[in-house]
Chain A
Amino acid sequence: DAGITQSPRHKVTETGTPVTLRCHQTENHRYMYWYRQDPGHGLRLIHYSYGVKDTDKGEVSDGYSVSRSKTEDFLLTLESATSSQTSVYFCAIRAGGVNTEAFFGQGTRLTVV
């Protein structure tokens, strides 16, 4: 398995509170991604990073922010959690260049009550 760890694996939080999810990799891959998975919507890209301090928005970025201060860590922050952000969040990594396979973490199940 690719060296990618998401934490926490499960979290329940209250509406209006900030929440930070962490993705940690040991592969030294350049690209890191945050997706959310919801029934009927598949995997939707939230934000991604193509290097330290280089990030860009995906299709569902509203209400989320990210930071990447080190190659190995990509943080996703829900600034003020809402019930619509209840979801399973997946982090993925890719080396880039000719190696295009994306490796996914095990996911974080977030419930906002």
Chain B
Amino acid sequence: AQKVTQAQTEISVVEKEDVTLDCVYETRDTTYYLFWYKQPPSGELVFLIRRNSFDEQNEISGRYSWNFQKSTSSFNFTITASQVVDSAVYFCALSDTDTGGFKTIFGAGTRLFVKA
């Protein structure tokens, strides 16, 4: 069965600090996709990134970067020089070939507080 574990329930940092959000996943499929979403206080989840199981290349987008390591089944998310606007709940998610890729399993989320 699929599973996504975000062991960090809450993280608090001071503005301009770097912060890494951990994500560990479980799946028996060789074809799967991993996602990160951001949920600001407004409640709407916002898609950040999608990565497929055949592409382990790390990705950087502005202050955001993602480290995908199949050997440890991890897909960690780093925010560099954090800002107050980064305060939100961040969800890691997994979708595999079960139900044709339409079912997504979400982790419990990590709440990030960035203090000014």
Question: Does A associate with B in a complex?
Answer: no
Question: B: which residues have CB within 8 A of A?
Answer: none
